[in-house]
Amino acid sequence: MKNLLITALLFISASLWAQSVTSPSGRIQVDFHLSDEGNPSYSVLFDNKEVIKPSPMGFRLKQGIDLTYGFKIIETKTRSVSETWEPVWGEVKEITDNHNELRIHLQQYASDSKMDIVFRVFDDGVGFRYEFEPNQKLAYFQVTDEATSFCLTGDHKAFWIPGNDDSNEYYYSTTKISGIDTRLCDGKGIGTHKIIDKHCIQSPVMLKTDDNIYINIFEAALSDYPAMLLDVNVNNYTLKAHLAGSATDVKAFMQTPCKTPWRTILISDNAADILASKTILNLNEPCKIENTDFIKPQKMVGVWWEMHVPNKSSWNYADKFNIKLADTDWTTLTPNGRHGANTANVKRYIDFAAENGIDGVLVEGWNVGWEDWAGNWKEEVFDFVTPYPDFNVEELSSYAKSKGVNLIMHHETSASATNYERRLDSAIGFMKKHGYNSVKTGYVGWIIPRGETHDGQWMVQHYERVIKKMAENGIMIDEHESVRPTGQHRTYPNLMACEAARGNEYNAWSIGNPPEHETILPFTRLMGGPMDYTPGIFKIKMANYQAGNTCQVHSTIAKQLALYVTMYSPLQMAADLPENYNLYKDAFQFIKDVAVDWDTTKIIEAEPGDYITIARKAKGTENWFIGAITDENKRTVEFYLDFLDPDKTYLATIYADGKDADWITNPESYSISTKKVTSGSKLKIKLAAGGGCAVSIYPIK
């Protein structure tokens, strides 16, 4: 904040203050406006063309203070930042943060309240947020509504899911803005399905204008504030911040000094730039974990998919549907014979992981409480420290250790965050005693504290409390059913992945995920951080599959492989059963080989809803991995390998769809071929309908 530069204020007219700030390249420009009534607003230009029309800013507070008008400008400041930093893990080894900042110090005439609006303008987008310094007039305040809006210039194409502050597990709808109607969305299989309003959608929303400009609207660095959904005006194409709900009429309890998350607008005429953007990460705080040695990207298998496929295994040990945690002696229950997390079965997974160089084994259903865990908004379900009688934690911990495999802890909270918090110290004690260094958390159901929501301020604070506590104890975390991430894995890189979207699991027991699903997720949910999507299902059709029903993965096997590259995560599951991988050992080789941490990423081509092709170089190596996926349409991808080192020759192994492959009729058809390639080579690969292709490229020594 030392390199301040007071820039001239422009008077556009007697009635309007305005000040501009442009991105380093000049392609993106933000204009801040203050009307003569003191209403703050902003607009955004891309290549001198308006992308966001003048749009309202500010807040409405419970105390009757309306922070949307009556402001005067006290001072403005600009500064330029150009720096690089290294993430602990990521898609690239080094990230450049290159932006110009404009800070507007505002003061409200009536209330004396002070509010800063800060814009950071990057070459691929804009972030802005509100900051409040401590001041006596506004030491504490209670936000009931955020006025921030995004006034769009036309009836763009939108990729969206319904606004639900208790779930993000929807498949995407693609409509014009004017066609958004969330009442039509399918909520089957979503335990906390609800429609807030027919015109309320979740962020991020991915947009494409008629003249092929791509716009992504989201937020960065969500902390101590509710998540931002969006109220859509289908008539004038305005999106307005809709803060996730709470147990009271107050959405956010604020204490100065404080700041909101960044509201982000990514813009490009090339969809690939949206995927490559590091703006959301750059808007997050630097790493706050001092010693990050415990954080290691990894692959895992797990006692998990067998509970999703029909009629195989269960999380629960017994079949008994009215149980009280405090009163139950699980050793006296009659086992149902289908309990997945039994010692012998877990050993089988440990053996499989050890044989195949997989780092970790996730075990769900290891702890008591699953007999009666969901659906009753019940507070005391799990204690996180009591294994079922058939899960020998000591034996398995030492067995896994002897095989060089990490057991991954599972803490399903049944959305009872209060119960989890009060037991967290003892749960972590149990993990440390038994050598677990990573945990998957889950929040299935309606939140307790009752009335709070998964995406509201209280739960946002909760997730952060848990992430921090895990960090303090040297534990990596993978959150399921949490709020969607907004880049805070920069700050807390022990947050390896989140679910917070519709994962592969839906293919096992619902209408599933349409083939386009994985071509949209990187443009939406993944903008904020890695997803634990659980790819790699080889047994595409479920045991109960029948022509006409949809219980299958909506994909070919080759596409499942490609997802390890296109769906970036430092925590990747090989989600299928060991016995299914053993049927296709040649294809499984790609999962064994593929990296989970990268030096370089090249988005070769991308179009939301249609296709994505990405190449990545594994961290600290010269090995490249490529993934290409398509939607329900078959497609030929063609690209040069010009990212390879021109001085090297490589062996490419191509895991392609079989000639007769088709996600519906023949999804398990694939062919594997190898060829020598150089940086001058070009690959041309056919993707089946619902198909994909994975390529590994190793230098030839």
- Residue ranges binding a second copy (CB under 8 A): 134, 139-140, 246-248, 250, 253, 255-256, 321-322, 324, 376-379, 418, 421-422, 424-426, 448-452, 458, 461, 465
Q: Alpha-carbon distance 402 to 393, whole Å?
A: 14
Residue 252 CB, shortest distance to a second copy, in Å, is 12
| Bridge partners, 239 (sequence order) | 150, 232
Nearer to a second copy, 404 or 451 (CB): 451
For 607-635, letters b (16+ CB in 10 Å) and e give ebbbbbbbbbbbbeeebbbbbbbbbeebb
3-state SS class at 571: strand
Residue 326 CB, shortest distance to a second copy, in Å, is 10
For 33-65, letters b (16+ CB in 10 Å) and e give bbeeebbbbbbbbbeeeebbbbbbbbbbbeeeb
Residue 451 CB, shortest distance to a second copy, in Å, is 4
Distances (CA, A) of 129 to 115, 264, 490, 602: 10, 9, 18, 30
Burial environment of residue 334 by CB neighbours within 10 A (0 to 12, 13 to 18, 19 or more): exposed
With residues binned 3-state (H G I as helix, E B as strand, rest as coil), the percentages for the chain, rounded to 5, are 20, 35, 45
Residue 78 CB, shortest distance to a second copy, in Å, is 28
Q: Alpha-carbon distance 490 to 87, whole Å?
A: 7
Q: Alpha-carbon distance 445 to 372, whole Å?
A: 13
Residue 416 CB, shortest distance to a second copy, in Å, is 11
Residue 699 CB, shortest distance to a second copy, in Å, is 49
Nearer to a second copy, 32 or 253 (CB): 253
Nearer to a second copy, 379 or 607 (CB): 379
Q: Are 405 and 359 in contact (CB under 8 A)?
A: yes
Hey, CA dihedral for 593, 597, 602, 605, is it positive or negative?
A: positive
DSSP 372: G
How many residues are listed for the chain in this entry? Answer: 701
Among residues 505, 516, 518, 622, the one annotated as catalytic is: 505
Nearer to a second copy, 222 or 697 (CB): 222
Residue 241 CB, shortest distance to a second copy, in Å, is 21
Nearer to a second copy, 416 or 556 (CB): 416
How many CA atoms within 13 Å lie on the side-chain side of 281? 28
How many CA atoms within 13 Å lie on the side-chain side of 369? 24
Q: Alpha-carbon distance 217 to 528, whole Å?
A: 11
Distances (CA, A) of 354 to 294, 523, 569: 20, 35, 21
**Residue 122, H or E segment:** strand 114-122
Nearer to a second copy, 429 or 680 (CB): 429
Residue 323 CB, shortest distance to a second copy, in Å, is 9
Nearer to a second copy, 231 or 380 (CB): 380
Nearer to a second copy, 142 or 336 (CB): 142
Nearer to a second copy, 61 or 697 (CB): 61
Residue 643 CB, shortest distance to a second copy, in Å, is 45
| Bridge partners, 19 (sequence order) | 32
Q: Alpha-carbon distance 303 to 321, whole Å?
A: 22
**Residue 505 annotated in active site:** yes
Active site residues: 505
